[in-house]
């Protein structure tokens, strides 16, 4: 008896799948099943209309838009500062990155200078945020594969970092902390030491995760050689971030176009050559350790050091500045009354008023947030988010409201490759492949 062959539909443009056929022992009927929108493994509301033949996926179509909240249109009806808090709700696992992209775009248009201290604070925030995002991915990815304990361990460590964020910004996930040309408030006194305490613990925790998961035979069986794609596919589909670096390219915006003082730090860009689920797993695990390196350097070289020191110097400067100002007032008063001012006052009044080192401030140039009106112009800023390239394009027409804000989220592009990876693949591999892409649905739908 001839064994029937399952012909795969031709998907133009997908290099790795053309002409693949599979030997099937038994021919079964095609069946359409809906995965989602409410499915524990879709990390949000994604519906995958899947045609399967036996265990093999013949066609798959993601249906998106369940979480659409018109994030881009909202910008056109709100002032720049009014719009800012809503950005948090787009990519809520790593919203520091979205804020960074938005704020830098506007700093570009309005030509605002950002002090070094602010840049370092931003780097610390973003790298800690990258770790929390990867930790959540690690927990849920292994949960999808059937491991429960790592999920709890990852959440425990994530919680420690969230406590730091709460101390700094007042919120655990919806930070709303970066401002045009600065940050909302300086770090609390002693925050740097708290960060140091938390991140000193983390390498041991990462070792623990790796001991549980990295060489586990079940993980190896489900991840090795599954969900392969190569650099050409990344370029075709616009896949960026760790998924792209798992294909052997060390494309990382932090290295290629350093922003926010990333050029000051030494770190490696972890890459893997194979491009399967396991490679993506390893890249993310290595990235968390690299983030720790960056945070350590930022903590040690923070311009101005801890807030307590900056406050102390600020107080000293304030005393001198006050004296000079008082003297100037006395001189002016004496001139007004046509008297001879005291000689000591005159010499004091001629001194320049001292200011604290410009690098140590939390604002380059303070803008009035309520009436912030950048000149007409446009700017595009991009940042290496935990999921890949995140871009924000702002057009300003000189009014307090944006003419247009466009977001380029990494999750959307990374999701488009999923059907091509799944067609011809085993249905049980879906969760491993989908989980390894690290997609967050609010960012897809926006």
Partner 1 sequence: MTESKPTDKHTSIPLPEGYLPTENKVLSAVTEIAKGMATVISHVGREPVTEEYPEVMPEMTNRFHGRLSLLAKSDGTDLCIGCKACAKVCPCDDLIQIEMHRDGDKKPVIDQFTIDMGRCIFCGNCTEVCPVDCIKMLPDFELADYSREALVLDKFDLTLKGNESDEWRAAHDLVPTV
Q: Is 50 in the site for partner 1 (CB under 8 A)?
A: no
Q: Is residue 212 within the footprint of partner 1 (CB under 8 A)?
A: yes
Query: Does 198 interact with partner 1 (rule: CB under 8 A)?
Result: no
Q: Which is nearer to partner 1, 166 or 326 (CB)?
A: 166
CB contact set of 111 (below 8 Å; sequence gap of 6+): none
Nearer to partner 1, 178 or 412 (CB): 178
Could you tell me what percentage of the chain is helix, strand and coil, using 3-state DSSP and rounding each to the nearest 5? 50, 15, 35
- Asked whether the beta carbons of 138 and 428 are under 8 A apart, the reply is no
Q: Does 426 bind partner 1 (CB under 8 A)?
A: yes
Closest CA to 253 of 408, 420, 133, 440: 408
382 touches partner 1 by CB under 8 A: no
Other CB atoms closer than 10 Å to residue 322's CB: what's the count? 11
- Mind giving me the DSSP string for 372-404? --PPSEEEEEEEEETTEEEEEEEEE-SSSBEEE
CA distances from 32 to 49, 63, 422, 434 (A): 7, 14, 14, 19
Which listed residue (68, 113, 156, 329) binds partner 1 by CB under 8 A?
Answer: 156
- 106 part of the interface to partner 1, by CB under 8 A: no
- 188 in contact with partner 1 (CB under 8 A): yes
**Residue 181 within binding range of partner 1, rule CB under 8 A:** no
The strand pair at 388-396 and 402-408 is best described as antiparallel
List 25, 204, 215, 352, residue binding partner 1 (CB under 8 A): 215
Binding to partner 1 in span 62-81, by CB under 8 A: 78-79, 81
The CA distance from 34 to 283, in Å, is 31
Instruction: Indicate the Cα dihedral angle 24, 30, 31, 32, nearest 10°.
Output: 120
Quote the CA–CA distance of 298 and 436 in Å, as a whole number.
30
Q: Which helix H or strand E contains 147, and what residues bound it? A: none
In the region spanning residues 85 to 104, those forming contacts with partner 1, defined by CB under 8 A, are 85-86, 88-89
Task: Count residues binding partner 1 (CB under 8 A).
Answer: 60
Among 168, 246, 431, 444, binds partner 1 (CB under 8 A): 168
Kindly list the distances between the CA atom of residue 128 and the CA atoms of 115, 296, 323, 433, in Å, as whole numbers in the listed order.
Answer: 20, 11, 42, 26
Choice from 39, 162, 171, 377 touching partner 1 (CB under 8 A):
171
Give yes or no for residue 18 binding partner 1 (CB under 8 A).
yes
- Beta carbon of residue 247, minimum distance to partner 1 (angstroms, whole number): 10
- CA angle in degrees (0–180, nearest 5) for 152-157-161: 140
- Of 63-71, 83-91, 196-204, 377-385, the window that binds partner 1 (rule: CB under 8 A) is 83-91
Stretch of 29-37, 43-51, 225-233, 293-301 contacting partner 1, by CB under 8 A: 225-233
CB 81 within 8 A of CB 182: no
Residue 117: exposure state from Cβ atoms within 10 A (0-12, 13-18, ≥19): buried
Q: Contacting partner 1 (CB under 8 A), which of 97, 100, 120, 229?
A: 229
Selected range binding partner 1 among 94-102, 115-123, 388-396, 424-432, rule: CB under 8 A: 424-432
Q: How far is the CB of 55 from partner 1 (least distance, A)?
A: 11
Instruction: Select the residue interacting with partner 1 from 11, 16, 391, 395 (CB under 8 A).
Output: 16
* 59 near partner 1, judged by CB under 8 A: no
CB closer to partner 1, 276 vs 438: 276
Q: What residues line the site for partner 1 (CB under 8 A)?
A: 2-3, 5, 16-23, 78-79, 81-86, 88-89, 149, 153, 156, 159, 166-171, 174, 176, 184-185, 188, 208, 211-213, 215-217, 220, 224-226, 228-230, 273-276, 369-370, 424-426, 429
């Amino acid at each position: 008896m001839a064994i029937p062959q399952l012909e795969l539909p031709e998907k133009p443009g997908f290099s790795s799948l053309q002409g693949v056929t599979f030997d099937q022992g038994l021919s079964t009927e095609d069946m359409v099943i809906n995965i989602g929108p409410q499915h524990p493994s879709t990390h949000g509301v994604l519906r995958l209309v899947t045609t399967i033949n036996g265990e093999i996926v013949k066609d798959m179509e993601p249906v998106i838009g369940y979480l659409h909240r018109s994030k881009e249109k909202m910008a056109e009806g709100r002032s720049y500062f009014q719009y800012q808090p809503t950005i948090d709700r787009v990519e809520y696992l790593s919203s520091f990155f979205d804020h960074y992209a938005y704020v830098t775009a506007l700093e570009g248009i309005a030509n605002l200078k950002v002090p070094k201290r602010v840049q370092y604070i931003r780097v610390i925030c973003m790298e800690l945020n990258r770790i929390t995002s990867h930790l959540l991915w690690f927990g849920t990815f292994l949960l999808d594969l059937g491991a429960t304990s790592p999920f709890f361990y990852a959440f425990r460590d994530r919680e420690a970092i969230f406590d730091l964020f709460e101390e700094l910004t007042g919120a655990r996930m919806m930070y709303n902390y970066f401002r045009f040309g600065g940050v909302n408030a300086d770090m609390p006194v002693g925050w740097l030491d708290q960060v140091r305490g938390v991140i000193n613990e983390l390498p041991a925790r990462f070792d623990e995760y790796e001991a549980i998961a990295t060489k586990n035979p079940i993980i190896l069986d489900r991840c090795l050689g599954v969900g392969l794609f190569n650099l050409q596919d990344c370029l075709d589909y616009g896949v960026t971030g760790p998924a792209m670096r798992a294909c052997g390219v060390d494309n990382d915006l932090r290295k290629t176009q350093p922003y926010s003082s990333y050029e000051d730090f030494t770190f490696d860009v972890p890459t893997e050559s194979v491009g399967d689920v396991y490679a993506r797993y390893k890249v993310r695990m290595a990235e968390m350790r690299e983030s720790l390196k960056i945070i350590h350097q930022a903590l040690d070289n923070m311009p101005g050091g801890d807030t307590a020191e900056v406050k102390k110097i600020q107080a000293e400067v304030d005393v001198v500045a006050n004296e000079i100002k008082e003297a100037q007032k006395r001189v002016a008063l004496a001139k007004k009354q046509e008297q001879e001012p005291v000689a000591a006052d005159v010499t004091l009044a001629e001194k320049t008023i001292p200011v604290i080192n410009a690098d140590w401030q939390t604002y380059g140039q303070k803008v009035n947030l309520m009436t912030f009106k950048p000149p007409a112009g446009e700017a595009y800023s991009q940042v290496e988010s935990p999921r890949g390239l995140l871009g924000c394009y702002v057009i300003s027409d000189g009014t307090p409201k944006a003419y247009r804000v466009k977001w380029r989220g990494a999750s959307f592009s990374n999701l488009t490759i999923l059907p091509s990876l799944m067609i011809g693949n085993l249905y049980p591999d879906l969760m491993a492949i989908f989980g390894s892409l690290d997609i967050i649905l609010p960012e897809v739908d926006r």
